[in-house]
Amino acid sequence: MICLLVPLLFFFQSGALLEQADEAFRAGELEKAETLARQVVARDPSAVHGHMILGVLAAQKNQWEVSNGHFLTILRLEPTNPFGYFYLGQAKLYQQQWAQAVTYLTKAMERNYPDRERLVVELSMAQNEAGNPLQALRTLALIEPPAGARQGAQYFGVTAFAQGKLGHMPEAVESVRRAIQLDDANVNYWDFLVDFLIKTDQAPQALAEAIRAQRKFPDHADTQFLFALASHHVVESPLSKLALRNLREAAPNDARVPLAEGLLYRKQGKTEEAIAAFQRAALQGAADAHLLLGIVYKETGDYIAAEREYREAERRNPASAQLMLELGKLYFARGELELARQRLEKAVELAPDAPTAHYQLGLLYRRLGQTEKAQEHLGKSKKP
Amino acid sequence: MPGKTIPVTLECAENATGGGLVSHAEWRGVSLASLLPRDTRSPFLKLVSTDGYSRTIPRSKGIHPDTIVAYSMNGEKLPVTHGFPLRAIIPGWYGMDAVKWLRRIELLESEEQSHSYVRRVSSFFGVRDAEPVTAMQVKSVFTRPQDGAILTQRRFTLRGMAWAGENAVAKVEVSVDGAATWQAAKLDATPMEYSWLPWSFDWKVPNAGEYTLSVRAKDDKGREQPRQRAAERSDGYEWNDWQTVKVTAV
């Protein structure tokens, strides 16, 4: 939430009305604050603090055009004022306009915005979301982890997200665990942790964390789906049915409901029902439905249908490490070694810490007679 | 000997309020009575395990048609951890009487007082006589949400289980306002003696905030879960006071 942090500019803008508006804002009397601030701005359109209050209030109500207008007015009136840049950057962050958020938050930093810790965390978040995880980590390195629990958690959370984007999975898991230690009420950290553990072949650990997460967030659809997914990956887990019920209750119309149904059927060995459920999920646009269809078709020996589904999944999401692994395995099984090599190398590139991808690539290199490379990847496939 | 299958919920007598030391299974075995000499009139039966543990139960419970010596659990051979090859199932009584790895049954003329007999009794700081812990108390618990849960939507189905030992659950009630008011929960199975049953309650969460949720049950013999455990009790058994969890709606 955007809050007015303020070393206010009363020194420059005296006036009882403005003072009353500010007092009302701080007391949480937002309607009164808005009315008074409007009066201030009507009398003096150059009243920077009046625009500040109106901008923040509009942002809190997601009235982005209004808030942007006030913040831009502040920048026009006082181009050296770091608060205007910070609030505008924050507003852009909430609007998911990452590049603009980076621009304005960087300008706030150049103008010495006083709450440096907060600024650094928000800027790094914007940089990471804008596709520059390395830059985000460099920005975070400008400060020590903040002492406050929530801000400290955000620091480690953004660190984890950036490390994850860079494929540094063990480090990302460690960082997100630290974020959860500081703030276990943020569902994004939990979902990220479970997702990462699944992606790095740590299914039992993923399930253990998913069990904790689904208890903490019993009606959060993402959490419940990850619970279903983690349970699916652990053969002995009897929790898939529970996860499906939770997901149905949390989001009955979610496209992932038929996906979770398919996972349950597959676990129960009901192949036809699994295929039908995954097809329903695919029709509803569920991510990974085609991947799962491909996996089930391959299990039934229908390699043509499996390839068709994998290729469709690849068209939709060419950056899926698991898809590349499955497609690589399919080509490998069919003896199409060059196609297998392309996909398995891509799988390792996308998930450098996933032992299974290294194992399959190692086997392929051995088949290709590239002994040294084979040993390298087979060595990496061994879990510590 | 004819076999008998019976669904039975077993709860540890030390299971805390809201604790997880409770489970349910379908047990198959032969009636314990069929293993006793026909003319026995001994008032107590001592069930002895291979590990030395033993429990003494009154003959009346021992020869009850539903009391069995089980050799199968949920349609499969009894697992070692559940007492293979044989286990006593004393329906409606706390799990401590369901002696695992059953080795022999002794006929006693009086309740044994030897050191090998673990006599679990409730104790009331002298205000009442100590009594053996036998039949399970009426109890209900939440399975979701758990304490500390964060709810993100404005509808949520509260769920849980309830059981009443030798009796059947008659009613489950929930409170979403710190036990100020109570509403009946839906019983999601037919109430039966010996068996737990699931219950649910569709809760419309009015708005964001902190909520204190409680659950309590009543059985068909009029027993009710107490709000609090009797203050004078000094033993560690029969924890069946209301379960309360706190949740946050955001």
Q: What mean pLDDT do residues B121-150 have?
A: 82
Least confident of A350-354, B25-29, B223-227: A350-354
Span A283-332, pLDDT tens digits: 999 989 999 999 999 999 999 999 999 999 999 988 888 899 999 999 99
**What tokens appear for B72 in the block?**
């199968």
What pLDDT score was predicted for residue B114?
47
What pLDDT score was predicted for residue A10?
46
Q: How far apart are the C-alpha atoms of A290 and B73, rounded to whole Å? A: 40
**Residue A383 reports pLDDT greater than 80:** no
For A211, the closest chain B residue by CA position comes to: B146
Smallest Cβ–Cβ distance between A249 and the set B150, B152, B157 belongs to B157
Smallest Cβ–Cβ distance between A216 and the set B150, B153, B157 belongs to B150
What pLDDT score was predicted for residue A9?
46
Q: How far apart are the C-alpha atoms of A245 and B147, rounded to whole Å? A: 20
Q: What mean pLDDT do residues B200-207 have?
A: 96
Span A16-38, pLDDT tens digits: 888 888 889 888 888 999 999 99
Give the residue from B74, B143, B153 with the most A CB atoms within 10 Å of its CB, the best one to mutate.
Answer: B153
Name the pTM for this structure. 0.80
Least confident of A102-116, A144-158, B115-129: B115-129
What is the β-pairing status of strands B68-73 and B22-31?
A: antiparallel
A253 Cβ neighbours under 8 A, 6+ residues apart: none
**Length of chain A counted residue by residue:** 384
**Residue A56 reports pLDDT greater than 70:** yes
Contact B193, B142 (CB under 8 A): no
Per the prediction, chain A carries an average pLDDT of 91
**Which residues of chain B make contact with A190, given a CB cutoff of 8 A?**
none
**Residue B39 reports pLDDT greater than 80:** yes
Do B152 and A249 lie within an 8 Å CB cutoff? no
Q: How far apart are the C-alpha atoms of A172 and A183, rounded to whole Å? A: 16
Smallest Cβ–Cβ distance between B150 and the set A185, A246, A249 belongs to A185
Name the H helices within A130-255: 133-140, 149-165, 169-182, 187-199, 203-216, 221-233, 240-250
Q: What mean pLDDT do residues B85-102 have?
A: 96
Give the residue from A219, A223, A254 with the most B CB atoms within 10 Å of its CB, the best one to mutate.
Answer: A219
Q: What mean pLDDT do residues A62-67 have?
A: 91
What pLDDT score was predicted for residue B41?
86
Q: How far apart are the C-alpha atoms of A301 and A243, rounded to whole Å? A: 29
Report the amino acid identity of residue A145. P
Whether chain B has a CB inside 8 Å of the CB on A218: the answer is yes
pLDDT band for position B127 (cuts 50, 70, 90): low
**Which residues of chain A make contact with B18, given a CB cutoff of 8 A?**
none
Whether chain B has a CB inside 8 Å of the CB on A215: the answer is yes
Higher pLDDT: A12 or B204? It is B204
Q: What mean pLDDT do residues A47-70 have?
A: 91
Give one word for A370, left, alpha or beta, with left for phi > 0 and alpha for psi -120 to 50. beta
B73 Cβ neighbours under 8 A, 6+ residues apart: B25, B26, B27, B28, B79, B82
Q: What is the Cα B62 distance to its own chain's centre?
A: 18
For B147, the closest chain A residue by CA position comes to: A216
Do A217 and B152 lie within an 8 Å CB cutoff? yes
pLDDT band for position A1 (cuts 50, 70, 90): low
Do A218 and B153 lie within an 8 Å CB cutoff? no
- Rg, chain B, Cα only: 20
CA distance B153 to chain A (A): 7
Do B149 and A217 lie within an 8 Å CB cutoff? yes
Q: What mean pLDDT do residues B128-138 have?
A: 81
**Residue A54 reports pLDDT greater than 60:** yes
Q: Tokens 């329903």 — which residue? A: A280
Q: How many CB pairs under 8 A join A and B?
A: 30
**Residue A207 reports pLDDT greater than 60:** yes
pLDDT band for position B196 (cuts 50, 70, 90): very high
What pLDDT score was predicted for residue A12?
46
**Residue B23 reports pLDDT greater than 80:** yes
What pLDDT score was predicted for residue B40?
82
**Which residues of chain A make contact with B188, given a CB cutoff of 8 A?**
none
The angle, 0 to 180 degrees and rounded to 10, between the axes of the packed helices A116-129 and A98-110 is 150
Give the residue from B144, B158, B204 with the most A CB atoms within 10 Å of its CB, the best one to mutate.
Answer: B144
Contact B73, B80 (CB under 8 A): no
**Residue B99 reports pLDDT greater than 60:** yes
Q: What is the Cα B83 distance to its own chain's centre?
A: 18
Q: What mean pLDDT do residues B148-177 have?
A: 96
Eight-state DSSP code of residue B146: P
**Which residues of chain A make contact with B248, given a CB cutoff of 8 A?**
185
Eight-state DSSP code of residue B228: S
What pLDDT score was predicted for residue A243?
94
Instruction: Report the side by side order of strands in the sheet with B186-187.
Output: B139-144, B155-163, B197-204, B186-187
Does the structure's ipTM exceed the value 0.90? no
Span A209-234, pLDDT tens digits: 999 999 999 999 999 999 999 999 89
Span A334-343, pLDDT tens digits: 999 999 999 9
